[in-house]
Structure 1
Amino acid sequence: MVFSPQQIKFEFLSYIKEFGGKTEDWRVGCAVDAPKAMFEENKVDSELDVWLWKPALSPAAAGIVFRYMTDQLHVTPASISVPGSSIFLFKRSESAAD
């Protein structure tokens, strides 16, 4: 199942609200393979960190969400992010914050 930019924005905003912190504490990125981008490339800890990823309709749709999150909400871009149709969001645990 793929999601529209509006659906992804809603879920990401809900996640940020639920788990708290300033939007600058969160990271967002795009990828072809979101789990690989998060867990291998950005070193997200699947058990300690808060994370979520969604498949978008297209790379352009993922880009819409990425630009909204970074430009409007000031979410920090992930250190490793490449064009792709998946978009991911994460926040490091307090003990692993960078």
Structure 2
Amino acid sequence: MTAMVFSVQQIKFEFLMYIKEFGGRAADWRVGLAADAPAALFGAQKVDPDADVWLWKPALSAAAARTVFRYMTEQFHVPAAEGATDGACVFLFRRREGCAA
């Protein structure tokens, strides 16, 4: 069984709708790339799966993921997650209120 992958437009739409739904300024969120999004989110970025707001999507390719990443960072001004700039999965997160990034 193959994993479902998403187009650049699908991921951009879902990420923007997520930000709209959960609120906050673009600067409150972080976006990143990873080959293994769950490991990046919950391991490297130390996102709390129960308390923080997060989402990840596998893109059609690493190039497609980079296109989403560039859009979110350059056009929408979401800061990049530290050390997460390579891979075919794109993730987005916002820490719960009152917690440092």
TM-score w.r.t. the length of structure 1 is 0.97
Deviation beyond 6 Å, 4+ runs, structure 1: none
Query: How far did residue 97 of structure 1 move?
Result: 3.3
Aligned CA-pair RMSD: 0.8
Q: Unaligned stretches of 5+ in structure 1?
A: none
Percent of matched pairs sharing the same residue: 64
1:26 is matched with 29
Tell whether 2:5 aligns with 1:10.
no
Count of residues paired in the alignment: 98
Query: How far did residue 34 of structure 1 move?
Result: 0.3
More helix by share: 1
2:84 is matched with 81
Tell whether 2:60 aligns with 1:57.
yes
Distance 2:20 2:13 in 1: 11
1:46 to 41, 44, 49: 49
Q: After superposition, what is the alpha-carbon deviation per residue over 1:26-78, rounded to whole angstroms, capped at 9, x for unaligned? A: 00000000000010000000000000000000000000000000000000100
Distance 2:20 2:61 in 1: 26
Query: How far did residue 96 of structure 1 move?
Result: 1.8
